[in-house]
Chains A and B, each alone.
Chain A
Amino acid sequence: MNKKRSEDASIREDTSSVATNSETALRDKVRKTRGVVWRSLLVPLLATVTAFAIGGLVIIATDESVYEAFQDGIGRGIVQVFIVIGRAYGTFFTGAFGNPAQIVEALFSGNAAQIRRAVYPITETLRISTPYIFAGLAVALGFQGGLFNIGAEGQYFVGGLVCVFAGYSITGLPQIIHLPLALLAGVAGGALWGAIPGYLKGKTGAHEVITTIMMNYIAYRLAEFMLDVGGPMARGDGRPVSPEIQLSAYLPQFFPNRVDLRVNAGIFLALGVAWVVWWLLYRTTVGYEIRTVGKNPDAARYAGISVPRVMVITMALSGALAGLSAATDILGVLHFMPNSFFSGYGFDAIALALLGNSHPAGVVLASLLFGAIGAGARNMQGMAHVPIDITSILQGLIIVFIAAPAIIRALYRMREPEEDEELALARG
Chain B
Amino acid sequence: MPPVLELKGITKRFPGVLANDHIDLRLEEGHVLSLLGENGAGKSTLMNILYGLYSQDEGDIYIRGENVAINTPNDAIRQGIGMVHQHFMLVPVLTVTENVMLGMESMKRAGFLDRETSANRIREISDRYGLEVDPDAVVEDLPVGIQQRVEIIKLLYRNADILILDEPTAVLTPQEVEGLFDVIHTLVALGKSVIFISHKLKEVLEISDRIVVLRRGRVVGSTTPVESDERDLATMMVGRDVILSVAKMPREPEAVVLNVRSLFVRGDQAKMAVNGISFEVRGGEILGVAGVQGNGQTELVEALTGLRAVEGGRIMIAGEDTTHASPRTITEVGTAHIPEDRQRDGLVLDYPVEDNMILNTYYLPPQAKGMVMQEAVIAERAENLVAEYDVRTPSISTPTGNLSGGNQQKVIVARELSRPVRLLIASQPTRGLDVGSIEYIHSQLVRKRDEGVAVFVISAELDEVMSLSDRIMVMFEGKIMGTVSAVGATKEELGLLMAGVAPETATMTS
Q: Which residues of A contact B (CB under 8 A)?
A: 2-6, 9, 12-13, 15, 17-18, 25, 283-286, 288, 292, 295-296, 298-299, 301-306, 419-428
Out of B17, B347, B354, B394, which one reaches A427, CB within 8 Å?
Answer: B17
With CB as the reference atom, state the residue of chain B lying closest to A427: B17
| Partner of A304 from B346, B360, B371, B401 at Cβ < 8 Å | B360
Q: Is B192 on the interface with A (CB-CB < 8 A)? A: no
Q: Which residues of B contact A (CB under 8 A)?
A: 14-17, 40, 305, 307, 326-329, 331, 337, 339, 341, 344-352, 354-355, 359-360, 362-363, 368, 371-373, 375, 379, 394-395, 397-399, 401-404
Partner of A425, one of B329, B350, B355, B402: B402
Asked if residues B352 and A6 are in contact (CB atoms below 8 Å), the reply is yes
Q: Cβ of B373: which chain A residues have Cβ within 8 Å of it?
A: 283-285, 288
Inter-subunit contact B348/A426 (CB<8 Å): no
16 contacts between A and B (CB under 8 A): A5-B352, A6-B397, A6-B399, A13-B394, A15-B394, A18-B394, A295-B348, A295-B349, A295-B351, A296-B347, A296-B349, A298-B345, A301-B345, A302-B327, A302-B337, A303-B327
**With the chains together, A426 CA to B350 CA distance in Å?**
13
Contact A424 B307 (CB under 8 A): no
Which residues from B are CB-within-8-Å of A6?
350-352, 355, 397, 399
Please give, as numbers and ranges, the residues of chain A lying within 8 Å of B16 by CB-CB distance: 420-421, 423-425, 427-428
Compute how far the CA of A271 lies from the CA of B379 in the bound complex, rounded to whole angstroms. Answer: 30
**CA–CA, A423 and B375, complex, Å:** 28
A258 and B14 alpha carbons, distance in the complex (Å):
65
Is B344 in contact with A425, judged by CB distance below 8 angstroms? Answer: no
- Indicate the member of B40, B305, B372, B373 with the most A CB atoms within 10 Å: B373
Contacts of A301 in B (CB 8 A): 307, 327, 345
The smallest beta-carbon distance between B399 and chain A, in angstroms, is 6
Known: A5-B375, A301-B327. A12 touches B359 (CB 8 A): no
State whether A13 touches B307 (Cβ < 8 A).
Answer: no
Q: In the bound complex, what is the Cα–Cα distance between A17 and B349 (angstroms)?
A: 21
Query: Is B399 in contact with A12, judged by CB distance below 8 angstroms?
Result: yes
Nearest-neighbor residue (CB-CB) of B19 within chain A: A427
Question: Would you give the shortest CB distance from B294 to chain A, in whole angstroms?
Answer: 19
Minimum CB–CB distance for A33 against chain B, Å: 10
* Central interface residue in A2, A304, A306, A423, by most chain B CB within 10 Å: A304
CA distance A18 to B394 in the complex (A): 6
> In the complex, which residues of chain A have a beta carbon less than 8 angstroms from the beta carbon of B354?
5
* Cross-chain contact of A423 among B17, B344, B359, B397 (Cβ < 8 A): B17
Q: Give the docked Cα–Cα distance between A412 and B274 (Å).
A: 58
* Contact between B395 and A299, CB atoms less than 8 A apart: no
Q: Determine how close the nearest CB of chain B comes to the CB of A9; give it in whole angstroms.
A: 4
Contact A302 B307 (CB under 8 A): yes
Q: How far is the CA of A305 from the CA of B372 in the complex (A)?
A: 17
By a CB distance below 8 angstroms, the chain B residues around A13 are: 394-395, 397-399
User: Which residues on the B side are within 8 Å of A286 (C-beta)?
Assistant: 371
Q: Which residues of A contact B372 (CB under 8 A)?
A: 283-285
B368: chain A residues within 8 A (beta carbon): 285
| Least distance between B425 CB and chain A CB atoms (Å) | 12
Lowest 3 CB-CB distances: which A-B pairs, in order?
A424-B16, A304-B328, A420-B15
Q: Which of A285, A288, A303, A428 has the most CB of B within 10 A?
A: A303
Q: Are B15 and A419 in contact (CB under 8 A)?
A: yes
Nearest to B393 among chain A residues (CB) is A15
B404 touches which one: A5, A18, A427 (CB < 8 A)?
A: A427
When chains A and B are docked, how far (Å) is the Cα of A422 from the Cα of B403?
9
> When the two chains form the complex, which single residue of B348, B375, B403 contacts A299, counting CB atoms closer than 8 Å?
B348
Closest A residue to B359 using CB positions: A303
- Chain B residues with CB under 8 Å of A4's CB are 397
CB nearest to A296 among chain B residues = B348
Q: Which residue from chain A places its CB closest to the CB of B375 in the assembled complex?
A: A3
Name the distance in Å between A336's Cβ and chain B's nearest Cβ.
Answer: 38
Minimum CB distance partner of A17 in chain B: B394
The residue on B at minimum CB distance from A282 is B373
**Shortest distance between the CB of A197 and any CB in chain B (Å):** 24
Which residues of the partner chain B approach A303 to less than 8 Å between Cβ atoms?
327, 359-360, 362
**B350-A423 in contact (CB<8A):** no
CB of A415, distance to nearest CB on chain B (Å):
13
* Given pairs A25-B395, A298-B345, 9 additional interface contacts (CB within 8 A): A12-B402, A13-B395, A18-B394, A285-B368, A286-B371, A288-B362, A302-B346, A425-B394, A425-B404
A296 to B350, CA, bound (A): 9
Are the C-beta atoms of B351 and A306 separated by less than 8 Å?
A: no
Could you tell me the distance in whole angstroms from the C-beta of B19 to the nearest C-beta in chain A?
Answer: 8
Specify the chain A residue showing the minimal Cβ separation from B415. A303
Residues of chain A contacted by B344 (CB below 8 angstroms): 296, 298-299
**How far does the alpha carbon of A11 sit from the alpha carbon of B391 in the complex, in Å?**
22
Residues A299 and B345 in contact in the complex (CB < 8 Å), given A423-B15, A425-B404: yes
A421 to B15, CA, bound (A): 8
User: Shortest Cβ distance from B340 into chain A, in angstroms?
Assistant: 11
Among the listed B371, B403, B404, which residue makes an inter-chain contact with A284, where contact means beta carbons less than 8 Å apart?
B371
Q: Are A292 and B398 within 8 A (Cβ)?
A: no
In the complex the two chains form, what is the Cα distance from A422 to B402 in whole Å? 6
Contacts of B40 in A (CB 8 A): 427
Q: Report how far A295 CA is from B345 CA in the complex, Å.
A: 11
User: Which of A3, A25, A420, A426 has the most B CB atoms < 10 Å from its CB?
Assistant: A426
- Closest-CB distance, A308 to chain B (whole angstroms): 12
Residue of chain B at shortest CB distance from A424: B16
Contact of A426 with B404 at beta-carbon distance under 8 Å, contacts A296-B348, A299-B348, A420-B15 already known: yes
Residues of A contacting B331 with CB < 8 Å? Answer: 304
Q: How far is the CB of B412 from chain A (nearest CB, A)?
A: 10
Q: Would you call B350 and A306 a contact (CB within 8 A)?
A: no
Q: Which residues of B contact A292 (CB under 8 A)?
A: 348, 351, 359
Q: A3-B375, A284-B373, A428-B404 are known contacts. Are A9 and B17 too (CB-CB below 8 A)? A: no
Please give me the residue from chain A that is nearest to B306 by CB atom.
A304
Give min CB distance, B263 to chain A, whole Å: 20
Contacting pair B326 A304 (CB below 8 A): yes
Report A-chain residues with C-beta under 8 Å of the C-beta of B379. Answer: 3
Most chain A C-beta atoms within 10 Å of own C-beta, residue among B305, B307, B350, B354: B350
Q: Judging by beta carbons under 8 Å apart, are B395 and A427 in contact? A: no
| C-alpha gap A26/B397 in the complex (Å) | 12
Which chain B residues lie closer than 8 Å to A284 at the CB level?
A: 371-373
Cβ B360 vs Cβ A302 within 8 A: yes
Nearest Cβ in chain A — how far from B171, in angstroms? 22
Cα A427 to Cα B404 with chains together (Å): 6
Q: How far is the CB of B353 from chain A (nearest CB, A)?
A: 10
Q: Say how far A406's CB is from chain B's closest CB, in angstroms.
A: 17
